[in-house]
Amino acid sequence: QVQLVESGGGLVQAGGSLRLSCAASGRTFSSYAMGWFRQTPGKERGFVAAISWSGSSTYYAHYVKGRFTISRDNAKNTVYLQMNSLKPEDTAVYYCAAGNPHTFEGAISDRAYNYWGQGTQVTVSS
């Protein structure tokens, strides 16, 4: 079992930055790949970024690549999402997730993840 808690969301102006954090409980954090997803009311969760257990491989949705950076610190049991050049369309609840995808196709699917945080709200004003 893994418990995940996101933090770092808030209200920012377009073009601003936020850094989201996801703290995991337990001592097996490094065994999991981690992903970030986002969701707006009435829509399914959409993939944002993922990182392998070692941090050596990362994947990004095309609409955030070049603006967002996913990273992890296994010693701190924490995964981060640095979000720069934020746009109003980035407004959503952001969730972190833990799982064991083995391909890009698997990593971008929420079905590849077994554990989810409660979400943190990101609002970008124009």
pLDDT tens figures, 54-104: 889 999 999 998 999 999 998 899 999 999 999 999 999 999 999 988 888
Tell me how far CA of residue 90 lies from CA of 11, 56, 106, 126, in angstroms: 11, 26, 23, 11
Tell me the average pLDDT across 3-14. Answer: 97
pLDDT at 37 over 70: yes
Average pLDDT, the chain: 93
Query: Tens digits of per-residue pLDDT, 101-118?
Result: 888 888 999 999 999 999
pLDDT band at 29 (very low <50, low <70, confident <90, very high): confident
Tell me how far CA of residue 106 lies from CA of 12, 35, 51, 88, in angstroms: 32, 11, 12, 28
Query: Tens digits of per-residue pLDDT, 41-51?
Result: 888 899 999 99
pLDDT of res. 53: 85
